[in-house]
């Protein structure tokens, strides 16, 4: 991704989390180490769609904070590519800048000409038909949407709704609540989703709450 003068590429989850599963309540210490990802992931094969909604959080730009993004996607958890769309937040001149994007990682992100502000309600969806991926993002608050179709030979072995810190250092965002989180038309809660949380050398940085049907909250523990 490229935002202002900052080069950003959101990437598949690190290999150390590949194939990890965890039963029991969500949130540290019960979550799986997600590297720089927090949220829920469903693993399997042949995934066709993933979707969710969230509100753009009120971000306080802190020293050392790197770009972060809530997004939905197919692949990336134990595979080398990910087809995804979301909203990236980067601190520019000490102020948060929000931009909608899509990406077929590891290629760079492509930004949409869509106004996004703190407090806007966002809906995102990735739908696959064969090798064609339709990545749609809607600003429900402003009545705006963008949708693109790209052909790609994805593995289709995971679907996720996550919050990602590009280099593992979050700005101060408090919490993000996802609703309407579905995979292949079913709630993520019905799909044995795995909770993952971002970590650094000091331990967990986030606490992903228990899934309630199609909704969950990610709470920041520290930057």
Where residue 68 sits, what CATH number does that domain have? Answer: 2.60.120.700
- Residue written as tokens 């990406």? 103
pLDDT tens-digit map of 33-55: 888 899 999 999 999 999 999 99
Q: Are 19 and 99 in contact (CB under 8 A)?
A: no
HSE, side-chain direction, 13 A CA sphere, residue 109: 24
CA distance 6 to 205: 23
pLDDT band (50, 70, 90) for residue 26: low
pLDDT tens-digit map of 141-176: 999 999 999 999 999 999 999 999 877 678 899 999
Q: Model's pTM, two decimal places?
A: 0.88
Range of the domain at 71: 43-194
Give domain status of residue 203, yes or no.
no
Query: Which residues does 7 contact at the CB level (< 8 Å), separation at least 6?
Result: 1
Number of domains in the chain: 1
Give domain status of residue 142, yes or no.
yes
Give domain status of residue 159, yes or no.
yes
Give domain status of residue 7, yes or no.
no
Give domain status of residue 34, yes or no.
no
pLDDT band (50, 70, 90) for residue 4: very low
Ramachandran category for residue 205: left, alpha or beta (phi over 0 → left; psi -120 to 50 → alpha): alpha
Q: Please tell me whether residue 166 adopts helix, strand or coil conformation.
A: coil
Give domain status of residue 25, yes or no.
no
161 membership: H or E segment, kind and range = strand 158-165
Give domain status of residue 133, yes or no.
yes
Give domain status of residue 210, yes or no.
no
pLDDT tens-digit map of 57-104: 999 988 777 888 999 999 999 898 999 999 999 988 889 999 999 999
Pairing mode, strands 186-187 and 37-43: unpaired
């Amino acid at each position: 991704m490229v935002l202002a003068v900052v080069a950003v590429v959101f990437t598949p989850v690190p290999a150390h989390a590949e194939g990890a599963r965890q039963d029991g309540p969500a949130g540290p210490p019960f979550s799986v180490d997600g590297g720089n990802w927090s949220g829920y992931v469903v693993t399997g094969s042949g995934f066709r769609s993933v979707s969710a909604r969230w509100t753009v959080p009120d971000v306080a730009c802190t020293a050392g904070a790197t770009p972060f993004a809530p997004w939905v996607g197919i692949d990336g958890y134990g595979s080398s590519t990910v087809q995804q769309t979301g909203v990236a937040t980067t601190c520019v001149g000490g102020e948060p800048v929000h931009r909608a994007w899509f990406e077929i990682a590891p290629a760079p992100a492509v930004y949409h000409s869509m106004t996004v502000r703190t407090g806007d309600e966002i809906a995102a969806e990735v739908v696959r038909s064969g090798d064609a991926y339709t990545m749609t993002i809607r600003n429900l608050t402003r009545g705006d949407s963008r949708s693109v179709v790209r052909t790609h030979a994805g593995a289709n072995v995971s679907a996720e709704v996550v919050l990602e810190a590009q280099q593992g250092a979050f700005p101060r965002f408090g919490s993000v609540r996802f609703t309407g989180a579905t995979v292949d038309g079913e709630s993520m809660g019905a799909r044995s989703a795995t909770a993952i949380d971002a970590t650094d050398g000091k331990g967990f940085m986030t606490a992903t709450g228990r899934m309630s049907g199609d909704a969950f909250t990610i709470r920041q523990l520290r930057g």
